[in-house]
Amino acid sequence: MLRLFPDLSDDLLKRLYHKGAHAHWTSEDIDWDAPVSLDDRGGLALARVLSPVYLGEQSAMIGAANVLPQLAMAGESTAQLYLTTFIGDEARHFEVLTRLYHRLGHEPVSIRALPAMLRYHHRLRQGDRIDWVWGILISDLFAKNFYQMFAHEQQNQLFGTMSQRILVDESRHQAFCDHYLTQAMPHLGPERRKALRTMRDELLDIMEDMQTVLGEDAEVLGFHGQDMLDRVMADVAAHAHRIGLDDDPPPSGGRRRPPREAVDLAARRRLKAQEGAQGPLQSLETQECDCGVCPIAAICQSRIVRRAVAR
């Protein structure tokens, strides 16, 4: 219920809101004369590997706007305040990356060439505000590892300096997600937690799909996509333990993917039905539970993906 005069307690989320409000910057604060130092193939490779992150920035901005009323109705007033700065953060990431694409002279990979991007965006939109925050945490950990490579390797170049700025914003996003989910977790039952772990598996599967397509471009830029994904997965496992989703701590020193949740095929079918999917159902029953294809197949048959692919 919407409250006219809510208690805005002085909690971590309000402090993050203050930090975010003081930290605003725009594309006008970027030194666009800084060198890119990539040849045309390198520029194309950057444009391509950046594409999922670029869509992720837009997806986060749109999703936050969608979740904000849910926070208000739940009386989570300081989270609601904080999210306004989150939207601003993602808006400027979207803006500066758009301008970077113009500077590179290349466009992002199309949805048709990389439909996994749309599946990822679609998966983030499912569920309630807790699902969304969990998905955003996973996305932010992907973005963090991506930007960190360039912030480190291209310190004095355009994308490197841009990445350093974006990383400061992303650290606030992770702090928010960790805090919000840690508070929420004790109130979630076993099935709800299981659904969150399944969502994690699905998002990581889609990331692997994207990496398969973009692996050659990553090599052009001097990094191995699977190494980066390993770091993302280790981060996700660490955060899942930190927020109380996974009881067991991740193995020390490893870059291990979190153990997969057993797939609930009936739940998958219900999910597919909710999505209003049309056309023949993928034969979910005949697939191996741990094949890594099932959730993708379930989603990629959806009308929105088929329409995009046919474009």
57 binds Fe ion (CB under 5 A): yes
Distance CA(114)–CA(308), nearest Å, equals: 10
- How many whole angstroms separate alpha carbon 173 and alpha carbon 177? 6
Rg, the chain, Cα only: 20
Distance of CA 133 to the CA centre of its chain: 10
Which residue stretch of 162-170, 239-247, 278-286, 287-295 sits at the interface with Fe ion (rule: CB under 5 A)? 162-170
Q: Which is nearer to Fe ion, 95 or 261 (CB)?
A: 95
Residue from 172, 173, 231, 257 that binds Fe ion (CB under 5 A)?
Answer: 173
User: How many amino acids of this chain bind Fe ion (CB under 5 A)?
Assistant: 6
Contact 157, 127 (CB under 8 A): no
Least distance from C-beta 145 to Fe ion, angstroms? Answer: 13
Regarding 246 and contact with Fe ion (CB under 5 A), the answer is: no
Phi, psi of 192 (to 5 degrees): -65, -40
Compute the distance between CA of residue 80 and CA of residue 257 in angstroms, rounded to an integer. Answer: 32
Closer to Fe ion by Cβ: residue 145 or 282: 145
- Kindly indicate which of the ranges 40-48, 85-93, 202-210, 259-267 contains the residues binding Fe ion, using the contact rule CB under 5 A: 85-93
Give the integer Cα–Cα distance in Å for 141 and 135.
10
Contact between 93 and Fe ion by CB under 5 A: the answer reads: yes
Does 179 engage in binding with Fe ion (CB under 5 A)?
Answer: no
- Compare residues 57 and 246 and give the one whose CB is closer to Fe ion: 57
13 is written with which tokens?
């989320």
Q: Is 172 in the site for Fe ion (CB under 5 A)?
A: no
- Tokens of residue 187, six digits: 């109130």
Sole binder of Fe ion in the list 76, 131, 140, 202 (CB under 5 A) = 140
Q: Nearer to Fe ion by C-beta: 54 or 211?
A: 54
Local structure of 24: helix, strand or coil: coil
**Helix 225-242, helix 129-153: angle, nearest 10:** 140
Smallest separation, CB 153 to Fe ion (Å): 19
Q: Is 144 in the site for Fe ion (CB under 5 A)?
A: no
> Between residue 106 and residue 125, which ones bind Fe ion under the rule CB under 5 A?
none
Do residues 174 and 154 make contact, with C-beta atoms less than 8 angstroms apart?
A: no
- The span of 7-15, 52-60, 127-135, 298-306 binding Fe ion (CB under 5 A) equals 52-60
**Min separation Cβ 93 and Fe ion, Å:** 4
CB–CB of 79/180 below 8 Å? yes
Binding site for Fe ion (CB under 5 A): 57, 90, 93, 140, 170, 173
